[in-house]
Amino acid sequence: MTTNPADADRLSALFAAHSRRVYAYAARHTDPETAKDVVAEVFLAAWRRVADIPEPALPWLLVAARNVVSNSRRSSLRRDRLAGVVAGSGLAALMPGADETALERSHMLAALDALNDTEREALLLTAWDGLAAKDAAAVAGCSARAFEVRLSRARAHLDRVLAAEPTPCEVTR
């Protein structure tokens, strides 16, 4: 990076003399907005390597612009390929939107609220906290068999509550 006043003056002179030409080159190979980004990246590289820029500077700056444009194209191709893979795999269709997730979460929280404390605790210890029934039983202060019965009843009750009302997403479809 340049902190030398002479280097800063050289960079300013290079920008004043060649930025329009670098922009014109980039605009021939990309869209106008991307061309502005190319100019910014070229002169960032020039700022970092101002002492290495030969005279005449324009060829060096245009090579830097060509490299930035090429890198940008490669990045775009990779991004487009990845988007195609995701779209083709059906992953995008499998992912619910944020609004749908929020509505389903709200519906699930309301259903959990309809359970009694013992049922809710059994479900949350296993589903939320990820405990095995044996470990959840220790937390709940009962035998493993008693906990399994609680969990079975809690799941059945939750299923009945969820079946009683359609999810908000089902209503809107």
Quick: pLDDT tens for 17-46: 999 999 999 999 999 999 999 999 999 999
Amino acid at 42: V
Average pLDDT over residues 106-132: 90
pLDDT on residue 168 = 55
pLDDT at 123 over 80: yes
pLDDT on residue 173 = 47
CATH number for the region 98-172 comes to 1.10.10.10
Domain with CATH 1.10.10.10 in the chain: 98-172
Residues 6+ positions from 164 with CB-CB distance below 8 Å: none
Domain with CATH 1.10.1740.10 in the chain: 5-91
Q: What is the pLDDT of residues 48-98, one digit of tens each?
A: 999 999 999 999 999 999 999 999 889 888 888 887 776 666 655 566 678
**CA dist., res. 98 & res. 103, Å (int):** 9
CATH class of the domain defined by 5-91:
mainly alpha
Place of tokens 């800063």: 8
Question: What tokens does 12 get?
Answer: 């300013």
**CA dist., res. 32 & res. 28, Å (int):** 9
Mean pLDDT (the chain) is 87
